[in-house]
Structure 1
């Protein structure tokens, strides 16, 4: 089972911020977070957003919106 634990590095050693039973010899994966975590998460999520929003499949919807043909509850929008 995957478990995430917060830790800090002090004098080259990883110190957990919370108590946890770790079996001797347990394998761990350590991910270093940049000092500015906000910037890290923005950059990380941008890749997913680019994949979702920057695609040619949605171009047909853009054309329909420009022509004013949008079915459903959003038909009251008027584009200038």
Structure 2
């Protein structure tokens, strides 16, 4: 895998040797409840898409647990 990081680092002039994280950032304005829910569902479904869990609330670090009132994650949220 190191060769992949080295190859990615060569593509960017500001990286000296290897690059692990992606550099692009495409912010999306959350201008409505519908857009917010879409982005939240995307985040909550990532562990399912990668095959780590079958249900978003099963992922220990997911805020889906807070929204489902099943449990709290490592960070508590104020949903009020």
Asked if Structure 1 and Structure 2 have the same fold, meaning a TM-score greater than 0.5 normalized by the shorter chain, the answer is no
Structure 1 length as normaliser, TM-score?
0.22
Q: Which has the higher strand share?
A: 1
Structure 2 length as normaliser, TM-score?
0.22
Q: Which has the higher helix share?
A: 2
Which structure's CA Rg is the greater one? 1
